[in-house]
Amino acid sequence: MRFNALLNLQKKLVEIAFETREKARVSYSGYKVGAAVMTENKEIFSGFNLENITYIVPHAEEQAIRLAKEAGHNKIISLVVYTNSQIPPFPCGHCRQIIADSSLLYDMNPNIIAGNDKDVFSIEKISTILPRYNNFSKKKILVQVRTDKNRYTSAFTERQALELSLKKCYMSDNEKILSVLYFSDSKKPLFPSGFNRQLLAEIEKEQNEKIEVIAKTASGLEERMFVSELLPFSFGVESLNNT
Ligand SMILES: [Zn+2]
């Protein structure tokens, strides 16, 4: 889709994201991102990425959403991410989780628009770019990383359980991750959060072999999905290289 095909309010939002992008501080990645959100009453808030050496970096989308919330606006109807990459990237897994959590909490379903300098635009809904979403909050689950040689298990909050299992796995040499088991006592099988999908998607690209997520419940329900299905239109290091 071209810029001219967007609705007038969407065009305005893109223009603001484009202008805001110039403020980005990208000392490490060189990858400037501008974002803008439109609230229910048509107010606009924008954000840009602000990198530092800790790599705990506020992303542009996250910043725009936070500014809107700070001003008392929880409901967002549109969100634009604007970059200079070849393929306009949708938000990373971490930001998708933030958008999905807000969508559930505030009963919203924003249009998510990705655009680039080559005049390429795509619009999707959060349910498409983060299918089988769960709100984990402080829920504890068991995560088992299964490689071609071993199994590494941790039980903690969702975000940390995967991190701990991966750390145990990386203490060994040259093991290929084949699958990850998510075991919980929920009613339905739970798939990873957006943040952890991002992590798994990057590992999958590095090892050049698909990773399957097996989601199981204590009552015996089981579902399987590949990481690439759980994070479609994913954003990674390859997006930084083709700017
Ligand atoms: Zn992000």
Q: What does 103-131 look like in DSSP terms, one character per residue?
A: HHHHT---EEEEEETTS-EEEE-HHHHST
pLDDT value of residue 51: 84
Nearest CA to 98 out of 149, 148, 70, 64 is that of 64
Domains parsed from the chain with CATH numbers? 3-130 (3.40.140.10), 140-230 (3.40.140.10)
CB 121 within 8 A of CB 3: yes
What residues are labeled active site?
61
Q: Give 219 Cα–ligand 1 centroid separation in angstroms.
A: 35
Confidence (pLDDT) at 243: 47
161 Cα–ligand 1 center, Å: 21
Ligand 1: distance of its center to the CA of 62 in Å? 7
Q: Is 30 left (phi over 0), alpha (psi -120 to 50) or beta?
A: left
Q: How far apart, in Å, are the Cα atoms of 169 and each of 148, 163, 175, 209?
A: 11, 10, 8, 16
Q: What is the mean pLDDT of each run of 10 residues along the chain (243 residues)?
A: 96 97 88 95 95 82 96 96 88 96 95 94 97 89 96 96 95 91 95 96 94 97 97 81 51
pLDDT of residue 241: 56
Q: Which DSSP category does 183 fall into?
A: E
Question: What's the CA angle centered on 161, arms 181 and 210, to 5 degrees?
Answer: 40
Q: Two tokens at 103? A: 């969508």
The alpha carbon of 221 and the centre of ligand 1 are apart by a number of angstroms equal to 32
Q: What is the distance in A from the centroid of ligand 1 to the CA of 113? A: 14
Q: CA–CA distance from 55 to each of 49, 52, 232 (Å)? A: 11, 6, 24
**Angle, in degrees to the nearest 10, between helices 60-70 and 8-21:** 110
The residue to which tokens 């609705």 are assigned: 7
For the chain, what's the residue count? 243
Q: Helical H runs in the chain? A: 8-21, 60-70, 93-106, 126-129, 158-170, 194-207, 227-230, 237-241
pTM of the model: 0.93
CB atoms within 5 A of ion ligand 1 belong to: 59, 92, 94-95
- Residues whose CB falls within 8 Å of the CB of residue 119, separated by 6 or more in sequence, listed in order: 2, 3
- Distance from Cα 93 to the centre of ligand 1, integer Å: 7
Sign (positive or negative) of CA dihedral 55, 58, 59, 60 = negative
Q: CA angle 155-161-162, nearest 5°?
A: 135
